[in-house]
Structure 1
Amino acid sequence: MGLITGLITFVVGVLVGGIGIYVGAELVGGGSSYEKAVTAAIVGSLVWALVGTFFGWIPLLGPALTFVAYLGVLNVMYDGGWVEAAAIAVVAWLTLVVVFTLLGPLGVGVFSGVGVPGV
């Protein structure tokens, strides 16, 4: 994959991840902006990558620390606390699973949801 293709994939992935986080924040927190959701996707993916790089190799503890760090980003960016941050993450993940499931059979080239773990 070339540099331009990689950059386009990343940008589209961040925009798609932002959709999931936006829907999660709207349903859980009652208000958000898409720009804030995209920022959360970018910061969340960077934190996930950094913490995962340094601690992800530790069995059981590494993935847990990585996920808690990601939830920390959502907790800081959105009001409501840790429970709401976890709910935003779950709704974002479910939203993107539904979107990718619906677009897959239509032959639409689906990217990943950068900033939403597991998608």
Structure 2
Amino acid sequence: MPTPAPPSLGIEDRLLAFSVSLLVGGVALHVGTHVVADARDYAHAVLTALLGAVVWAVLESVPLLGGLLALIAWVAIVRWRYRLGWLRSAGVGVVAWTAAVVVLAALELVGIGSVSALGVPGA
């Protein structure tokens, strides 16, 4: 007897997963900027996460150097949006990645495991 295919996600489910993933990415960036620099409001972090995710998606597909180019561009977006230097922007990235891993682990513990941290590389 063939195994039935899993149900596909509807547009509402996809939009919800996208929204939650973007909000998680925004939380992670907001935490990162609070630790490393003078943070702005949460909405600023969410928009930065969205811009970072778009740039990451475009550049990551470049052959050979895509990941490196995407990471540099992501740090450049944080640098531009928060008016920081390169090292502090990279520090925001490290703290944001750590915060995203913690938030995603907590969500997994409560049974929400189908989200990511949109706008935070590697999370």
In structure 2, distance between residues paired with 1:76 and 1:5: 33
Counterpart of 2:60 in structure 1 is 52
Provide structure 2 residue ranges, at least 5 long, that are not aligned to the other structure. Answer: 1-8
* Structure (1/2) with the larger helix percentage: 1
Root mean square deviation of aligned Cα: 1.4
4+ runs of 1 displaced by more than 3 Å? none
Counterpart of 2:109 in structure 1 is 105
Larger Rg: 2
Aligned partner letter, 2:94: V
Q: Would you say how many aligned residue pairs link Structure 1 and Structure 2?
A: 115
- CA separation of 1:87 and 1:47: change in aligned 2, threshold 3 A: same
1:78 Cα offset (Å): 0.8
In structure 1, distance between residues paired with 2:111 and 2:10: 23
Identity %: 37
The answer to whether 1:87 aligns with 2:95 is no
In structure 2, distance between residues paired with 1:41 and 1:103: 19
2:43 to 35, 38, 42: 35
Counterpart of 2:26 in structure 1 is 18
Provide structure 1 residue ranges, at least 5 long, that are not aligned to the other structure. Answer: none
